[in-house]
Structures are given as structure tokens and as C-alpha cells.
């Protein structure tokens, strides 16, 4: 199973939706909460080039945010990436 890392912050509906999709698929993920941690937010922005939450990485490949994750799932590509 692929390693999944998701950068989140509290009270973020998109973060909650992305985590729910992964949980519903039975995917273990490592959550990095940047709500009160500027260093984690800086790390996320450096790795992804984005400032919005969540930002999701599968095996260190940046797949984007919540909408991107759902688009991958709808296209049938998410399960392939997670199985790698």
C-alpha cells in the first residue's frame, strides 16, 4: 500500500472530506496538522507550491487538494495510485 500524507488544519471542511474518502477506502494516512504550526505550513507550501488545505501526497507525489483527490477517484485512478 502506498504511503499517504495529508497536510490539514482544524475546522477545514475540505480536509474532513478528503480524510473521510481515504478512511472509507481503508487507507492509512499520516496527517500533519498545520493549524498552529507555522513550520508544517511552510513545509507544505514548499513541497506543493500551494497555500490551501488540504494538500495530499501519495508516495511523495503531490496529487493536490480535496477536489483533485475526488477527481482521481472519479476517474478510477486513485485506487491504482494507492495500490502501488
Give the pLDDT score at 22: 98
List the beta bridge partners of residue 58: 4, 61
Give the pLDDT score at 1: 83
> Which tens digits make up the pLDDT trace of 14-70?
999 999 999 999 999 999 999 999 999 999 999 999 999 999 999 999 999 999 999
Q: Which of 75, 72, 61 is nearest to 22 (CA)?
A: 72
Q: Which residue ranges form the domains of the chain, and what is each CATH number?
A: 4-83 (3.40.30.10)
List Cβ neighbours of 4 (8 Å cut-off, separation of 6 or more).
22, 27, 28, 29, 30, 56, 57, 58, 82
Amino acid at each position: 500500500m502506498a504511503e499517504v500524507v495529508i497536510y490539514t488544519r482544524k475546522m477545514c471542511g475540505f480536509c474532513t472530506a478528503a480524510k473521510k474518502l481515504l478512511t472509507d477506502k481503508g487507507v492509512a494516512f499520516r496527517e500533519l496538522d498545520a493549524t498552529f504550526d507555522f513550520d508544517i505550513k511552510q513545509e507544505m507550501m514548499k513541497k506543493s507550491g500551494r497555500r490551501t488545505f488540504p494538500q495530499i501526497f501519495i508516495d511523495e507525489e503531490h496529487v493536490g487538494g480535496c477536489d483533485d483527490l475526488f477527481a482521481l477517484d472519479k476517474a478510477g485512478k486513485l485506487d491504482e495510485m494507492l495500490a502501488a
